[in-house]
Amino acid sequence: MRNALIIGVFGALITGIAIGVQSTLSSRTGALIGPIRTGLLTNAIGGLMAGVVIAILALVGATTWQLPRAALLMLLTAGAVGITIITGIAFSLPRTGVTAGLATIILGQLLVSVVVDSTGWGGVAPIPLDPRRLAGLAVMALAVYLLVPRN
């Protein structure tokens, strides 16, 4: 395996762990204050923290913040989707459990990702949809089925 691939897999694993931690915290918070407030407040607090980091970087001249219009539109859309994600996690995980909920979320990510990979929308060369990849989706769907509580 190439070093870049190994580093990418490790980075994805760390990100998955972070998503698991954040999802658990959002689930617990959603049960306490409701999913909509959880989604909005989580993103507002994250935005404030990002604002502080951006201000510090700008003050030390570490980077410039000129953005192409296309990037700004994608960032705005991603931010809005982020609110939906946290709200959805805060709503669904208390009802499904963390394991079944995250497995279902991952299945949703895989379904979108296979379309993005197959079409090249992610900005890289398309990765053909083949029987092996379809089998992977089917196995994940089976995993979700098996993980959803029956009571």
What is the reported pLDDT for 62? Answer: 72
Q: Which residues contact 140 (CB under 8 A, 6 or more apart)?
A: 103, 106, 107, 110
Average pLDDT of the segment spanning 10-35:
92
Q: Tens of pLDDT along 32-73?
A: 999 999 999 999 999 999 999 988 888 887 777 778 889 999
Q: For residues 124 and 127, what is the distance between their CA atoms, to the nearest angstrom?
A: 9
> What is the per-residue pLDDT for 1?
64
pTM across the whole model: 0.81
pLDDT higher than threshold 80 for residue 78 = yes
Quick one: CA torsion of 31, 34, 40, 46, rounded to 10 degrees? -20
* CA 2-109-135 angle, 5° bins: 70
Report pLDDT digits (tens) over 87-139.
Answer: 999 999 999 999 999 999 999 999 999 999 999 998 889 999 999 999 999 99
